[in-house]
Amino acid sequence: MIQKIDHIGIAVRSLAASKPYYEKALGLSSDGEEEVASQKVKTAFFSCGEVHLELLEPTAPDSPIAIFIEKNGEGIHHIAFRTNDIEGQLSQAKDAAVRLVHEVPIEGAGDKLVAFLHPKSTYGVLTEFCTPK
């Protein structure tokens, strides 16, 4: 059911401050910015071959990204796997006694449905399943 690594999420304090590193130092081009109000985050995606880098800037102090940055600083936040059956993937994880952050998929950036697995059940790695709507 997992097709590939879709993207790696990177928590940043500011898209404006961090984007130049990816554009100028690494030579990547931004695929655009998007605000996901339900997650209180603004995103910018960069293509890197078949995988994307997703910069995540909090838009509110109680945003999950703001809380992550406060606790851990900026850096890698999650890894996302593209699946062709997100509900089946969640069911498989639940059957394997993995703690789900989302029992059902929610709307995410890039016109995708997403669901997360809790890092306490995934050896410290916040794991996302995603699928195009």
pLDDT tens sequence for the chain (133 residues): 899 999 999 999 999 999 999 999 999 999 999 999 989 999 999 999 999 999 999 999 999 999 999 999 999 999 999 999 999 999 999 999 999 999 999 999 989 999 999 999 999 999 999 999 9
CA distance 46 to 31: 6
For residues 94, 130, 79, 33, the Cα torsion angle rounded to the nearest 10 degrees is -150
- Residue 107, domain CATH: 3.10.180.10
> Whole-model pTM?
0.94
How many residues are present in the chain? Answer: 133
CA distance 10 to 20: 15
Domain count, the chain: 1
Residue 49 structural domain = 2-132
Contacts of 21 (CB under 8 A, 6+ apart): none
